[in-house]
Structure 1
């Protein structure tokens, strides 16, 4: 099956999945379920691609890497959000849109995320059709992915454990991986997609770097670092101090205080 056919099949698959998910969200009155499905959507694309494409070492690795990442992320978000109701972002949109939210959410929430999901998953779709042997950069991608998965999963675990203790209520998490980067989970997510890209890439498909570039941009400027830090910095002076001494994204030793100055 050609790459074009696979891309079309997955576009249809994602469209159907997002419409079904949207209908469920209308029933539940909770658009937050789209966040839980985010990782699982990539898993769905990966398995569909392997089912219709050539099954070799590269395609098996891409499916395994995507499945491990996507299932863990979905399970973590489902556990974290259980019983908390609709996310404040979607609740605010629901209040703003009023009676039109039901159809607006189809386009601006579910449709948009489906389109971005399909675009970011290009290395999985195209890479599974590559017939050239695995090379050193491809295997190096496995290492990059593993480091990213470590940062994301350990970062989430450390934060969840920190928040579970009553004595930490209102405090800023600045321990473990969070001592070296304010967002180890987002940094790890970025590395995961750079790793998937390098596993999938060959000399003729380097253009697939659009996937990790887009993911990193979204994490830094749209739905990740920028959005979260805006809300935290406005309500916590302690967090503003944490911003001053800790790297935003790439892990780096924290700045040391000498008197009233950080160096």
Structure 2
């Protein structure tokens, strides 16, 4: 477990650097761009063997593509923007001294959460788990790649929509017609794909990782928290909720 402790230390250090930046900017949006990069920090600590298997290379390459793409997209989206309404609410709720508190309730919290969700990756990159491909591994690659593609398309469609939409309009085009958070569906495909890859190497307890990610996206920091603020800004969003699934894509319900 030494590599797991290494991952914890480097994740906390990375989170601390992000917190310093947010303190100087009086804006914690940077943590969104850091989220996917926490996983690369963790993998870099887990992968300490000189002999990297084909499976480990495939997983590493896929997750680097996912992490860099998502981080770059969020950096571009949040550049020169005010603090997200979710974080403004947290800032109000945890004032006074929010800048200091944010180190723990935002940056340390996300670093530890990412490390917990990375638990299957610890088994994938364990030096003793360098077996050749089996029938589950190609399926996991396809699932992860589809998740990356799905999330990328959803992000691009939302980005293009915001370029031309007027205030109060709801994005219900493309993948957003079939679920309100298609980007989160992509994240779920990636998380469960990693679990499928890791299940042959680890014990069943690693299922905690995708289950936790699923819970957070559906109920806690993802769709649930985000929609509380969207409804206040976009009255039409209530109708969108009634007709469209939250994360899992499906045909829209008829009014």
TM-score when normalising by structure 1: 0.89
TM-superposed deviation, 1:5: 1.7
Provide structure 1 residue ranges, at least 5 long, that are not aligned to the other structure.
257-261
Alignment of 1:147-166 (within 5 A): 147-166=146-165
Corresponding pairs, count: 253
> In structure 1, which of residues 245, 251, 254 is the aligned counterpart of residue 252 of structure 2?
254
**Hey, what does 2:218 align to over in structure 1?**
220
In 1, Cα distance between the equivalents of 2:171 and 2:95? 36
> In structure 2, which of residues 69, 72, 77 is the aligned counterpart of residue 80 of structure 1?
77
**Hey, what does 1:171 align to over in structure 2?**
169
In 2, Cα distance between the equivalents of 1:209 and 1:100? 37
In 2, Cα distance between the equivalents of 1:250 and 1:97? 33
Matched, 1:117 2:114: yes
From the superposition, tell whether residues 205 and 99 of structure 1 become closer, same or farther in structure 2 (CA, over 3 Å): same
Alignment of 1:58-73 (within 5 A): 58-73=55-70
TM-superposed deviation, 1:192: 0.9
In 1, Cα distance between the equivalents of 2:226 and 2:72? 21
Which one is further off, 74-83 or 116-125? 116-125
Aligned-residue Cα RMSD (Å) equals 1.9
Instruction: Answer yes or no: is the 8 Å Cα contact 1:181–1:247 preserved in 2.
Output: yes
Matched, 1:128 2:115: no
Instruction: Answer yes or no: is the 8 Å Cα contact 1:163–1:169 preserved in 2.
Output: no
TM-superposed deviation, 1:153: 0.7
In 2, Cα distance between the equivalents of 1:78 and 1:208? 31
In 1, Cα distance between the equivalents of 2:187 and 2:121? 16
- Classify the secondary structure of the residue corresponding to 1:77: helix
Provide structure 2 residue ranges, at least 5 long, that are not aligned to the other structure.
none
Alignment of 1:84-99 (within 5 A): 84-99=81-96
